[in-house]
Amino acid sequence: MASISVFFPCYNDEKTIAKLVKNVFLILPSLSKDYEVIVIDDASKDKSVDILKKLQKKYPKLKLVFHKINQGYGGTLRSGFEKSRKELIFYTDGDGQYNVNELPILLNLMTYDTDFVNGIKMVRRDPTYRIFFGNLYSFIARWLFWLPTYDVDCDFRLIRKKIIDKIHLTSNSGAICVELVKKCHLIGARFRQVSVHHYQRRYGNSQFFRISRILSTFKELLALWFELVLLKK
């Protein structure tokens, strides 16, 4: 069994992060003898930090990273990849919209000829406006960047660390998902995809649907397009 790092980005996820951590510690011993769990808190303003510190007392293997200043979704993912030390790296968001018990599905697809397993949301359980703009974003990103994945907006991924070690990520916004997939594709990573469940967000609000976040994301996407598509030609 390959060793595996699991990390969760966390921002104001006080109502969901504990369940994710508990569930992943229940399932990991059956999947690998060598594993680690990491939570990166991106300067949460709720009780997430206190909850995480209490969880660490219960789970000594839990590693915590606390950002003193909010670094955005991209900055949080970059911290997670930097702290991960095992052969495989799995991550999903701390808001509880994906089920970590479906991790074995990804592991079964991580065969010798695969480097990157990306989830595809079976049915997106979000408000109608988010479904529309989310699908539009994925469609535009897929064709602008010629991505090898259908659902670049699905943050349920399993990747070989040796692939992550070969790329350099720079995005601070949600554009990091496009950057991650495209840069791995450019260095020859072999992809597989699988459908996973997506659940309604029961607590909190999405941090993406704010004018400042949207503008920041599209600004970084434009820069990435010049770097990874136009200049590569």
Residue 134 has pLDDT above 90, yes or no: no
Q: Which of 20-59 are b and which e, b meaning 16 or more Cβ less than 10 Å from the residue's Cβ?
A: bbeebbeebeebbeebbbbbbbbebeeebbebbeebeeee
Mean pLDDT of 150-162: 96
Task: Choose which CATH entry (3.40.50.1980, 3.20.20.100, 3.90.550.10, 3.40.50.300) describes domain 4-230.
Answer: 3.90.550.10
Identify the burial level of 195 via C-beta atoms within 10 angstroms of its C-beta, where 0-12 means exposed, 13-18 middle and 19 or more buried.
Answer: middle
Domain range summary for the chain, segments of one domain joined by +: 4-230
Q: Give the integer Cα–Cα distance in Å for 120 and 209.
A: 21
What confidence tens digit (pLDDT) does each residue in 14-45 have?
A: 999 999 999 999 999 999 999 999 999 999 99
pTM over 0.75? The answer is yes
Confidence of residue 233 (pLDDT cuts 50, 70, 90): low
pLDDT score of 212: 65
